Chains A and B, each alone.
Chain A
């Protein structure tokens, strides 16, 4: 078997194993093991491939950022800062058509600036805004759809664990990728808002809550005093300043920003009396579980990408594509289709870790900005958060709603569908106009 054949074979093997339910890191690791065994002809090579990936490849200062940002994200959720942002957004936006929906998007966008993980956003806003929307007559399916759709902002607007992972594997600057995520995040939020207002105007039955009685009830609700507004926004602004200001002001490296942000969130939680010792411990344990599973995924993906490099497949693939002469947009079309397809069954981290090493060498000859490519990758892979059968954002919402039988998993996927379509449209805009992502960088 040639390296090319082994490479191709390994991809199919990995996909079949993952689809049938084998643990993703185990599938990546074992297939890489067998492939390198075949490629190098000795058992020593694959054994050290996996061992070195599990140790050497993790020995990098920047990896410290993952547990720290996860910890910060979980502490921020614990502080109920999500509720505070939502109340402020409601106060400001409730007069709009579909106002509570728009407020959910706005609150998610603001919350995204202090959390790096989308699942945190999904969990927080399921608890905070779904009950409120339903109380004011919004249809449950629409309510959960808005929450699912806007939760993806968590990993697009900086800080973002996904952008950090992409920066790690492509050796791009974390700060540049963070900057590049800002405008696409705002653009996606605006598109969501416009879509919600349009839906409320043209399909009030689908959205719900648009009749006079509901409107009146909303008017009376959530009137905040100026001091309420200040109290509810200050901690968030402080944390944004600390983390993003720290990185852009050059006071901290991203890893340090994670540590400082985590301490900041801890202090806010203590001041707001939202954290006893037991709750703090469970936050730490949860951080450990999330960080360990993300980092183990990175370890396994490192094995797989090193195996690919040894097989020579990416460079062969690059030659093949350049001979096929389908051009940059042709390749990007294929790339996005694969991202969406993989998104049906895989989580965002796995998609990025599997696809980027394969396509990076293919994209390089075109001299494109790898920062822009990163934004495309993340938006494309995040569509998968909303699509069945495996859509993590929808799963988190269902889990969080466990006591509520009125909303089925199908409702959540159906409600999220319009938002997945909007994501795809925004993704096309981002591909056609790279400057949306890059003009701040």
Chain B
């Protein structure tokens, strides 16, 4: 622009352990960064010189939180399920399966709870030296993908199913053994018989060609899961001018919704593609969903107790989360807070 007003340039380093091939990184690059630039350019006072370090070049999976904590980078995308020991609050959607398949709602609700309970943000600042800008998610609903057709839940008994982190507990009650593995290993594990199936979601099933080895999508709809946090080093946050801070935060919220919309669009398309490529979707009956739900341990209660021990009102937070889901008319199979 040709105006004479001096524009201050602010260098910021953004990191993620995942490469731009991952949906949330792509949306971050194609939406978040340019949108922040655009809004700052409108006012013309500041410009950000982004140093993009994605794909684990600064921190690998599970390492983003600490890289931000110690000021190696300014902004990053934390994958929350890697830190049940540090930020267990963010596992709330993991421990409440079969409640909602609306990823947008889930992410908005988690952010709403952070507003309601400032202790969560305070702990982040005090313990981990960072400011959470938003929660986000790319998993519309976990499904189980199997190499054989399943009619009754009994057929899961004795099978091996791969997954990651807490979702391994989803199959425990059915008598299946959970085998920990990364997303990239699922295909190989099933094709070679290491496991008979895997926990995944429609978009990832198409992206990783799971229809070739596990063509039966057992549509159980375990639910939407938020697993990402956009977070900023506290010192970097304090250092940037108020105007920039506001933009960084506002666009983060919009990023959350943009990512949710993109996730939904892809989920719908991926279900069709899964079938086009030869996969079969087996929708479980309502009775079977109830049976599955009742097979699960009440992870939500364990989670709430853990939070209480850490000085957070875990039971209250759980109740609020479920209340919002109930008031939004979600297809709740099990009321985790009312047991």
| A contacts B directly (C-beta below 8 A) | yes
Q: Residue on B with the closest CB to A249?
A: B192
A45-60 interface (Cβ within 8 A of B): 45, 47-49, 52, 56-57, 59-60
The interface residues of chain B lying within 8 Å CB-to-CB of A175 are: 188
B73-88 interface (Cβ within 8 A of A): 73
The interface residues of chain B lying within 8 Å CB-to-CB of A310 are: 13, 51, 53, 58, 72-73
Contact of B293 with A by CB under 8 A: no
Q: Residue on B with the closest CB to A48?
A: B70
B57 with A309: CB separation less than 8 A = yes
Contact of B60 with A by CB under 8 A: yes
The interface residues of chain B lying within 8 Å CB-to-CB of A44 are: 70-71
Q: How many A-B residue pairs have CB under 8 A?
A: 68
CA distance A173 to B51 in the complex (A): 28
Contact of B66 with A by CB under 8 A: yes
Choice from A45, A59, A171, A309 contacting B53 with Cβ under 8 Å? A309
CA distance A312 to B15 in the complex (A): 12
CA distance A52 to B56 in the complex (A): 13
Whole-angstrom distance between the Cβ of B22 and the nearest chain A Cβ: 12
Q: Residue on B with the closest CB to A172?
A: B184
The interface residues of chain A lying within 8 Å CB-to-CB of B72 are: 36, 40, 45, 48-49, 52, 306, 310
B58 with A306: CB separation less than 8 A = yes
The interface residues of chain B lying within 8 Å CB-to-CB of A21 are: none
Choice from B53, B59, B189 contacting A250 with Cβ under 8 Å? B189
A334-353 interface (Cβ within 8 A of B): none
The interface residues of chain B lying within 8 Å CB-to-CB of A57 are: 60, 63
Q: Residue on A with the closest CB to B188?
A: A250
Contact of A400 with B by CB under 8 A: no
Whole-angstrom distance between the Cβ of B320 and the nearest chain A Cβ: 34
Contact of B62 with A by CB under 8 A: yes
B70 with A56: CB separation less than 8 A = no
Q: Residue on B with the closest CB to A312?
A: B51
Contact of B191 with A by CB under 8 A: yes
B146-203 interface (Cβ within 8 A of A): 184-185, 188-189, 191-194
**Contacts A52-B63, A175-B188, A250-B189; A315 near B70 (Cβ below 8 A):** no
The interface residues of chain A lying within 8 Å CB-to-CB of B52 are: 315
The interface residues of chain A lying within 8 Å CB-to-CB of B55 are: 171
Whole-angstrom distance between the Cβ of B233 and the nearest chain A Cβ: 10
Choice from A40, A52, A250, A314 contacting B193 with Cβ under 8 Å? A250
CA distance A52 to B73 in the complex (A): 13
**Contacts A57-B63, A251-B194; A171 near B71 (Cβ below 8 A):** no
The interface residues of chain B lying within 8 Å CB-to-CB of A308 are: 57
CA distance A21 to B53 in the complex (A): 32
Whole-angstrom distance between the Cβ of B20 and the nearest chain A Cβ: 10
Whole-angstrom distance between the Cβ of B208 and the nearest chain A Cβ: 12
B66 with A56: CB separation less than 8 A = yes
Interface residues on A, range: 20 to 34
The interface residues of chain B lying within 8 Å CB-to-CB of A357 are: 57
Contact of A305 with B by CB under 8 A: yes
Choice from A40, A59, A171 contacting B56 with Cβ under 8 Å? A171
**Contacts A60-B60, A250-B194, A309-B57; A42 near B71 (Cβ below 8 A):** yes
Q: Residue on A with the closest CB to B49?
A: A312
CA distance A251 to B58 in the complex (A): 33
Choice from A45, A250, A306 contacting B70 with Cβ under 8 Å? A45
Contact of B133 with A by CB under 8 A: no
B192 with A250: CB separation less than 8 A = yes
A52 with B188: CB separation less than 8 A = no
Contact of A3 with B by CB under 8 A: yes
A52 with B67: CB separation less than 8 A = yes
B51 with A251: CB separation less than 8 A = no
CA distance A171 to B57 in the complex (A): 11
CA distance A305 to B58 in the complex (A): 8
Chain A 235-250 interface 0/1 with B at a Cβ cutoff of 8 Å (1 = within): 0000000000000011
Whole-angstrom distance between the Cβ of B164 and the nearest chain A Cβ: 12
The interface residues of chain A lying within 8 Å CB-to-CB of B184 are: 171, 173
The interface residues of chain B lying within 8 Å CB-to-CB of A171 are: 19, 55-56, 184
The interface residues of chain B lying within 8 Å CB-to-CB of A56 are: 59-60, 62-63, 66
Chain A 44-88 interface 0/1 with B at a Cβ cutoff of 8 Å (1 = within): 110111001000110110000000000000000000000000000
- Which of B56, B62, B184 gathers the greatest number of chain A CB atoms within 10 Å? B56
Whole-angstrom distance between the Cβ of A118 and the nearest chain B Cβ: 28
Q: Residue on A with the closest CB to B15?
A: A309
CA distance A398 to B280 in the complex (A): 63
CA distance A231 to B149 in the complex (A): 47
CA distance A226 to B21 in the complex (A): 55
Chain A 1-21 interface 0/1 with B at a Cβ cutoff of 8 Å (1 = within): 001000000000000000000
The interface residues of chain A lying within 8 Å CB-to-CB of B66 are: 48, 52, 56
The interface residues of chain A lying within 8 Å CB-to-CB of B188 are: 173, 175, 250
A305 with B71: CB separation less than 8 A = no
The interface residues of chain B lying within 8 Å CB-to-CB of A305 are: 57
B31-56 interface (Cβ within 8 A of A): 51-53, 55-56
A-B contacts, 8 listed (Cβ < 8 Å): A44-B71, A45-B70, A48-B66, A57-B63, A250-B189, A305-B57, A309-B58, A310-B51
Binding site for A on B (CB under 8 A): 13, 19, 51-53, 55-60, 62-63, 66-67, 70-73, 184-185, 188-189, 191-194
Give me the 5 closest cross-chain CB pairs, A-B, nearest first.
A250-B192, A309-B57, A48-B70, A309-B53, A56-B63
